[in-house]
């Protein structure tokens, strides 16, 4: 199995912006179309949102409860995709900052006599 596919990608401004764009679009469509989902059912929007967000910021277990929460009628009207993307981006940034090697500070000037 190729485990590199499961590693989260390095977050760039473009990836973060695109993920937020997808999330905001999904939440706006669900709000505008209403619970009836006349043109496009909410579940279809959720599947598309998850399929587009996952490659951008990487799979995170928080995406699954967001997907399931969208199935609940009143909760589905909240901007859950946008909130989830914001939380995952914050967690990924913290994770990447810990993984980056800290710059080495030069040793203090020591005079050995």
**pLDDT, average across residues 6-28:** 91
Task: Give the list of residues 6+ apart from residue 80 with CB closer than 8 angstroms, or none.
Answer: 27, 66, 69, 70
Among the ranges given (38-42, 88-92, 96-100, 104-108), the one the predictor scored with the smallest mean pLDDT: 104-108
pTM listed for this prediction: 0.77
Quick one: the chain helix, strand, coil %, rounded to 5? 65, 0, 35
Cα-trace Rg, the chain: 20
CA distances from 8 to 17, 48, 91, 98 (A): 16, 19, 11, 14
pLDDT band, residue 46 (cuts 50/70/90) = confident
Q: Which helix (H) or strand (E) holds 51?
A: helix 42-57
Which pLDDT value is given to residue 85? 94
pLDDT at position 104 over 70: no
77-101: b (≥16 Cβ within 10 Å) or e: eebbbbebbeebbeebeeeeeeeee
Which pLDDT value is given to residue 103? 61
Residue 65 and residue 97 in contact, taking contact as beta carbons nearer than 8 Å: no
Which pLDDT value is given to residue 90? 93
pLDDT at position 64 over 70: yes
Quick one: tokens of 36?
Answer: 């009836």
């Amino acid at each position: 199995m190729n485990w590199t596919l499961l590693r989260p990608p390095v977050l760039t401004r473009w990836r973060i912006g695109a993920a937020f764009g997808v999330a905001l679009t999904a939440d706006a469509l669900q709000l505008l179309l209403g619970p009836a989902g006349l043109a496009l059912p909410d579940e279809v929007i959720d599947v598309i949102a998850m399929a587009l967000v996952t490659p951008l910021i990487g799979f995170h277990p928080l995406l699954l409860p967001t997907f399931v929460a969208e199935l609940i009628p009143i909760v589905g009207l909240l901007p859950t995709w946008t909130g989830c993307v914001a939380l995952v981006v914050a967690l990924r940034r913290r994770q990447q900052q810990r993984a980056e090697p800290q710059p080495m500070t030069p040793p203090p000037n020591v005079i050995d006599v």
